[in-house]
């Protein structure tokens, strides 16, 4: 067993009894309901939007082109992903994606930090990329969440220092994962980001995403965030990105894609 796996297991054991006391209803307003399938149908996005509206989650997160399928009367925040999922697009491409997302109604951007570039040692180039994209979002009055793909970081100190540098750019949220890699959110990586937020003293939030499918998982992260930052749960600083978690919290079956007729 690796050190990180041991650490995650220990954290889970430490949080277990207390974290599970968190009321599930407190988690629903903190959800970023997510539908990021390449071929999502208009009907499935419309159904997800209805669910988000009914339960007043924090946001609905979809691809830029799928924002068009969200009804005009939708009152929940609209979020979209940029430089997704591998973080390999140019700054110019990212700005084009952001422009399209805003035109289609986005209010928040979930941007994948160029973590591959960063982990290859090109720290300055990766941070410059992020700085340019973040500034463009701000100029367009868009909230900005930066996805670090934390599962790619085995060095927690490196992740911590990166988080501090990104927080200094006055972002709205640090986000753990795209949910498209083998390792999504983990307690140890989330703790690292929370410690960076606490150290900075900045009004930066945390969004955990990537493999969070059960009520207990969500409760662990929520309690950990409360414990480190000493705040009451609120969507303004804590989010959970998930596609099926809402149904778990409501004890309802998950939505499925409607069958195609030919």
**Residue 136 phi, psi dihedral angles, 5° rounding:** -65, -40
Cis peptide before 52 (omega within 30 of 0): no
- Is 207 one of the annotated active-site residues of the chain? yes
B/e letters for 230-249, b = 16+ CB within 10 Å, e = fewer, are eeebebebbbbbbbebbebb
User: From the candidates 95, 102, 145, 207, which is the catalytic residue?
Assistant: 207
Q: Tokens in use for 141?
A: 């009055």
User: From the candidates 32, 175, 198, 231, which is the catalytic residue?
Assistant: 175
Helix axes 3-19, 187-200, angle to 10 degrees: 80
- Is 110 one of the annotated active-site residues of the chain? yes
- Is 155 one of the annotated active-site residues of the chain? no
User: From the candidates 32, 89, 110, 145, which is the catalytic residue?
Assistant: 110
Question: For residues 100 and 64, is the Cβ–Cβ distance under 8 A?
Answer: yes
Q: Which residues are catalytic?
A: 110, 175, 207
């Amino acid at each position: 067993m690796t050190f990180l796996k041991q650490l995650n297991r220990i954290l889970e054991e430490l949080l277990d009894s207390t974290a599970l006391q968190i009321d599930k209803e407190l988690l629903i307003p903190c959800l970023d309901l997510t539908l990021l399938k390449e071929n999502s149908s208009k009907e499935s996005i419309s159904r997800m939007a209805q669910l988000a509206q009914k339960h007043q989650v924090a946001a609905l997160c979809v691809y830029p082109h799928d924002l068009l399928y969200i009804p005009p009367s939708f009152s929940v925040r609209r979020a979209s992903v940029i430089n997704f999922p591998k973080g390999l697009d140019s700054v110019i491409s990212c700005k084009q994606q952001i422009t399209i997302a805003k035109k289609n109604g986005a209010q928040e951007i979930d941007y994948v930090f160029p973590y591959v570039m960063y982990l290859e040692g090109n720290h300055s180039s990766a941070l410059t990329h992020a700085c340019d994209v973040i500034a463009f979002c701000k100029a367009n009055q868009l909230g900005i969440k930066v996805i670090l793909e934390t599962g790619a970081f085995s060095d927690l100190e490196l992740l911590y220092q990166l988080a501090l540098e990104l927080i200094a750019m006055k972002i709205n949220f640090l986000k753990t994962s795209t949910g498209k890699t083998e390792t999504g959110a983990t307690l140890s990586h989330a703790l690292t980001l929370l410690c960076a937020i606490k150290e900075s003293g900045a009004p930066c939030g945390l969004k955990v995403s990537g493999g969070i499918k059960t009520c207990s998982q969500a409760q662990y992260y929520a309690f950990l965030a409360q414990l480190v930052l000493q705040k009451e749960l609120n969507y303004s600083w804590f989010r959970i990105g998930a596609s099926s978690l809402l149904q778990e919290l409501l004890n309802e079956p998950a939505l499925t894609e409607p069958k195609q007729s030919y």
